[in-house]
Each structure stands twice: as C-alpha cells, then as structure tokens.
Chains A and B, each alone.
Chain A
Amino acid sequence: MAIYEIKGIKKSFGNTEVLRGIDFSMEKGETVAIIGSSGSGKTTLLRCINFLERPDSGKMYLNDELLFDAEDKKKLNENEIRSKRLHFGLVFQQFNLFPQYTVFENLCLSPKLLAKERPDYRSDKKNIIKNIEEKAKDLLSKVGLSAKSDSYPCTLSGGQQQRVAIARALVLNPDILCFDEPTSALDPELTNEVLNVLKSLAAEKITMIIVTHEMSFAKDVADRAVFMDSGVVVEQGDPKKMLTNPESERLRAFLNTVTL
C-alpha cells in the first residue's frame, strides 16, 4: 500500500507552467531520489508537497486518504494547513536555522509550541517537556552534534548546520521527510557528513524524498529514482538501472551533463 500518492499535480506561476501533471507514489520506508536539471520543477514539487505552494490542479493522498484536492476551492484555514503540513518535513538547501536560538533550542522550539495545543498539556506539562528535550538530545547525538547543543548556528560549519536542520525536522516525526538539495550549499569536503546522516536515516527506513545532484548517492542509497524534466516525470525506477542504463533520451542527455 502506498503511504503517499500524488496525481496530476500542476502548478503555474503567471504564464509559466512549472509542473505539468506530476504523478508519483511511494511506499512507507522508501527513500526516493528526485533528479533533474535545474529549473525542471523539483523545488516547486517539494513546496507543493509541504503546502508552501498550492497546486492549481491535482490530488494528494496520504495512507489512501485524500489529503489535498485542488478542485476543492474552499480555502483551508491556517490550522487545517498546519495539521496537513505536519505530515511532512522539509530540509532546505540553505538550512534556515533560527539564528537567535541555540542548536538545542532550534530543535525544541516548535515541538514545545505544538505541545501547548495538546489537551493534556496543563496536567502533564513536565513530562511532555521532558520527552521533547530527551528526543532532541537523542537526535543531536544521532547526527553527531551533542557537543554543539548550546552553540549558536553562526558558529557552526555549513555541514553542521544542515545536520541540525535535519534533526530539527525529525523531532516532529513527519511521515515523510523531504530534502531540497541538502548538500548543494556546502563545500565539497562537507557534503559527506550530511550524506552519511541521510544514509543512516535510509537504513532506519525513514520515509524520505531527496532532491539531489549527487548521482552516486542516489544510485547507492535510494530505493527509487525519479527523473523530472520540464515539469513532468520522464522516467522512474531502480536507480542503479536508471542511472547506468537510461531508457529515455532526455535522461541520457541529463546524465551526460553530470558526473556520476
């Protein structure tokens, strides 16, 4: 059973049609790598999945339940969007950590705010806070940054900041965690520390969609690759097969422009 499925997602900005009917589905525990040249609509797709953009048409299903339908013109209110959004996480290319908070505070800020909305918050406040903080600590040690818990983002390297951003997204237990070129803003010598974290998450069967230009990573780690071009999915399947033996001419042309 697919944990997540999108059908016919289209999105235009003004006159430019950026997504021209995306169909795509994934299983629980799967790591999907989205590849494609710059401008093909990968970021826009992730933004639609995370409810940062509203698709013009199409549907999304989570666990076979309708999550979004563009035909439904009723405007969702903020709380409805927030609760839908929380099924997903998004790690940005530029990390976007909150500069005025320590690493640990970055992880705890949003779960603590969300906890306040729980009906049992008042009666069980201590426990709830304790659980959040323990979870944050665990995740920091998982990304190898326990020692930086009290540091401010500006004192960290790009690779460290991105690992914090990953931990911050994980604290909220999203069903699907999305990454938009998580290593593109990093110096080459720092990409591996982030890719290693992604590898360990894949090994733990965290459900992930990773937009990446790291072809060897896609080949070795992803369960499936999706190649996008000009707003459509051109080819998808086993990354090892796809990347060594592409079926479509467009994928072949794309692979010629990148180094494997």
Chain B
Amino acid sequence: MGFIDITLQLLRGFGTTFLLFALTLLLSLPLGLLFCFGSMSRFIPLRWLSRSVVYVIRGTPLLLQLFIVVYLPGILLDAPITKWSIFNGNVLAAYFFGALFAFVLNYSCYFSEIYRGGIESISAGQYEAGQVLGMTKRQIFFKVILLQVIKRILAPISNETVTLVKDTSLARSVTVYEMFFYANQILTTEALLWPLFYAGLFYLVFNALITWLFNKAEKKLSYFRA
C-alpha cells in the first residue's frame, strides 16, 4: 500500500470519526441542557434521577458504557442491536448508532455539569436586578444570564470538545470503522507503523482547528467582564 492509498483509507475512517464527533456534539450540547435543568429542578424526583444518571455516567469509563449500550440488548433481551429492524440488516449502521448513543449520553452528562457550574456561578444579584426592573424569568435568563454563562463555560466546553475528538477512537472497540480502526488494520495487514502516527496527525490538526475556533469565540466575548 502506498502513501496515497493509505491517506485515502485513513480519510475514509476520518469521515466516520468526524460524523461521530459532529453528531455527538450536536446532540449532547442541547441534551446536556435538559440534564442540567433536571439536576437543578425543584421537583425532587426529577432532580434525584437526573443527578444519579450524571453521577453514574461520569463515574464509569466510556468504554464500559459503549459495551453496555452495544451488547447488553443482545445479552439481556435477546435482541442484539444488529438485528433491529430499523437498521435493515446494516450491521455497521447499528454499531454506529449504538456508539453514538453511548457518546451522546456520556457527553450530555459532562456538559450538563459544566452548564450547571456556569449557571450557579452567576451572582444572585444579576437575577434580582432583572426582577426589580420588571423582567420576566424568561427574559432574565435569555437576556441577562445566558451570555454570561456562555462566556464562563466556553473554556471548559472547549476542553471537553477536544477530549471528544480523541475519545472517538474508542468506538473502534464496538466495531465502528473510524480512523483509528483503519490505522490499526494497516498495522496488522501491512506491518506498517507510521500510519498510526499519521492518524495521530489528523487528530492533532483537527484539534488545532477546534481550539482556534473556540479561541475566536472567546475573543468575541472578551469585550465584557463577567
């Protein structure tokens, strides 16, 4: 296999890596907000449930969660996800879906804690100033609090996003053919080590891009201090 073939092979894997990354981010950012509101709810059972889920997910390895989501339906319910009719026999799609589910759940929980920390760090005085000025709770949240929270959580969200890029390589363990899978395959079939480092370069460049984007966003919000 030449350099071009290997590059194409890795790019193919990177397509899956990117899809897993992008879909996880897209779904877990809003879902995290739901977990966050759940964890801050005044309705005790909901708060308890939400905090327990977050606690367990954050306290156990993502790899274990991947195995559970992907293999448990088959072991426990005799209904392996690969046989689910929605996947129409597309085994790879089933594995991808299972992995995506675990990733979204895992990252939602991390994001929810970041949101909660951000929201709770805003002083009560900001809410009260809005209240005495006759604003509604909604208006206070969206017009006063939200941007301050976003500014404060940008750095931790950026960290988490960079971690997510690297974590996608875990999906290989549940038969998702992402980039690292291919790099490893080349290692075993062609006895070539360098594609592993080549793949590492992909992650590095991609993360550089993400960090750059987040820095830009942080600069954009640097006009005020909160």
Please tell me if A205 contacts chain B, counting CB pairs below 8 Å.
Answer: no
CB distance B132 to A89 under 8 Å? yes
Please tell me if B226 contacts chain A, counting CB pairs below 8 Å.
Answer: yes
B interface, by DSSP: helix, strand, loop or mixed?
Answer: helix
> Which of A32-40, A66-74, A78-86, A229-237 lines the interface with chain B?
A78-86
A169 partner residues in chain B, CB cutoff 8 A: 132-133
A70: min CB distance to chain B, Å = 19
CB distance A85 to B137 under 8 Å? no
A209: min CB distance to chain B, Å = 13
A55: min CB distance to chain B, Å = 17
Residue among A94, A110, A152 making CB contact with B134, cutoff 8 Å: A110
How many residues of chain B get a CB closer than 8 Å to chain A's CBs? Answer: 23
CB distance B147 to A100 under 8 Å? yes
Interface string of B128-156 (1 = CB under 8 A from A): 11111111110100011001100100000
Interface string of A95-128 (1 = CB under 8 A from B): 0111110000000011001100000000000000
B226 partner residues in chain A, CB cutoff 8 A: 99-100
Q: In which size bucket is the chain A interface?
A: 20 to 34
B143 partner residues in chain A, CB cutoff 8 A: 109, 113
Please tell me if B125 contacts chain A, counting CB pairs below 8 Å.
Answer: yes
A53: min CB distance to chain B, Å = 11
Q: Which of B128, B129, B225 has the most CB of A within 10 A?
A: B129
Can you name the residue of chain A whose Cβ is closest to the Cβ of B128?
Answer: A52
CB distance A85 to B148 under 8 Å? no
Please tell me if A50 contacts chain B, counting CB pairs below 8 Å.
Answer: yes
Please tell me if A92 contacts chain B, counting CB pairs below 8 Å.
Answer: yes
CA distance A51 to B226 in the complex (A): 26
Please tell me if B223 contacts chain A, counting CB pairs below 8 Å.
Answer: yes
B199: min CB distance to chain A, Å = 41
B137 partner residues in chain A, CB cutoff 8 A: 78
A114 partner residues in chain B, CB cutoff 8 A: 134
Residue among B125, B133, B223 making CB contact with A94, cutoff 8 Å: B125
Interface residues of A (CB under 8 A from B): 50-52, 78-79, 82, 85-86, 88-90, 92, 94, 96-100, 109-110, 113-114, 152-154, 168-169, 172
Extra contacts, 15 of them, besides A86-B134, A88-B132, A113-B135 (Cβ < 8 A), are A51-B131, A82-B135, A85-B131, A90-B132, A92-B129, A94-B123, A96-B125, A97-B129, A98-B129, A109-B133, A110-B135, A113-B143, A153-B224, A168-B133, A172-B134
**A–B Cβ pairs within 8 angstroms, 9 of them:** A52-B131, A82-B136, A85-B132, A89-B132, A97-B129, A98-B129, A99-B224, A113-B135, A114-B134
